[in-house]
Structure 1
Amino acid sequence: MRRPIAAAALLTALVLTGTGPPAPAAAQQPPGTDVAACRDGSCTLRVTGPVEIPLDGRAGQSAVSVTGIGTHAVAFLVSEGDRRSYGVTGTGGTVRFTTPDGTLTIRVLELADGAATIELSSSASGA
């Protein structure tokens, strides 16, 4: 009987202090720099300048390019066949590019010293 009460007290203390359990180990792994690892539209990548990231098209996009990294924002260009779409966001921000085939979501995790850490995730329609 005492263990459930102790666990509940610990959980309550964590919630009230605004802290939680440590982040999972996977979230602490350093981001990669290999754009080929992003082909399926799911990766965390550190970029230091303009770069094109080829995608396999499962969500409708054939490529996403980082076109610029500024002090406060990162600019993206997404190719969708013969169409182009643009998005700009800063640290903690998200841009979404949607086609009839699915959605590509890009989140800027960190932006410092001319480099950006971005997270790509894609989902096909109906997924």
Structure 2
Amino acid sequence: MRRSTVAAALFTALVLGVAGPPATAWAQPPAGGDTDVAACLDGNCTLRVTGPVNIPLDGRAGATGLSVSSIGPFAVAFWVHRTGGGDGLGVVGRAGSVRFTSGSGSLAVRVLELDPGAAVIELSTQPG
């Protein structure tokens, strides 16, 4: 892991109060959104998350999972997981987005709403 990635992870942990790895999947549907993390398997969904959550993905864009590691008052921290390593970190505020790319495609994560302890996120996958 490069120093910049390690520094970003440590900074995120300090700012957002990350206490460890994501816990059991825990999400609630937003109005008109998907009902659970299983609906995100193809990388296209909208979820209301209220705590750390692991979202399994089918790998069509190179990502095999996405973890919401923390929800703070100003930002949400995400980890994308890929087969064979190359995990990535993104920290996104309200109305912001982050895109994780690989040779297989890209996974975009957008924060639609952000409240203390809850966020509505949108995942969208595009082939490479």
State whether residues 74 and 90 of structure 1, in contact with CA within 8 Å, keep that contact through their aligned partners in structure 2: yes
1:101 correspondence with 2:110 = no
Look up the equivalent residue of 1:124 and give its one-letter code: P
State the distance in 2 between where 1:38 and 1:90 align: 21
State the distance in 2 between where 1:99 and 1:62 align: 12
Shift of 1:30: 3.2
Pick the structure with greater CA Rg: 1
Alignment partner, residue 7 of structure 1: none
State whether residues 68 and 77 of structure 2, in contact with CA within 8 Å, keep that contact through their aligned partners in structure 1: yes
1:30 correspondence with 2:32 = yes
Runs of 4+ that moved beyond 6 A? none
Alpha-carbon RMSD = 1.4
Uncovered stretches (5+) of structure 1, i.e. residues with no partner: 1-27
Uncovered stretches (5+) of structure 2, i.e. residues with no partner: 1-29
1:86 correspondence with 2:89 = yes
Which of 111, 115, 125 aligns to 2:114? It is: 111
Look up the equivalent residue of 2:73 and give its one-letter code: T
Taking only the aligned residue pairs, the percentage that are identical comes to 57
Which of 59, 62, 84 aligns to 1:60? It is: 62
State whether residues 47 and 115 of structure 1, in contact with CA within 8 Å, keep that contact through their aligned partners in structure 2: yes
* C-alpha distance after superposition, 1:66-92 (max 9, x if no partner): 000000000000011122100001110
Shift of 1:43: 0.3
1:45 correspondence with 2:44 = no
Specify the SS of the correspondent of 2:63: coil
* C-alpha distance after superposition, 1:81-123 (max 9, x if no partner): 1221000011100000000000000000000131000000001
State whether residues 94 and 111 of structure 2, in contact with CA within 8 Å, keep that contact through their aligned partners in structure 1: yes
Question: So what's the TM-score if we normalise by structure 1?
Answer: 0.74
Look up the equivalent residue of 1:89 and give its one-letter code: V
Look up the equivalent residue of 2:42 and give its one-letter code: D
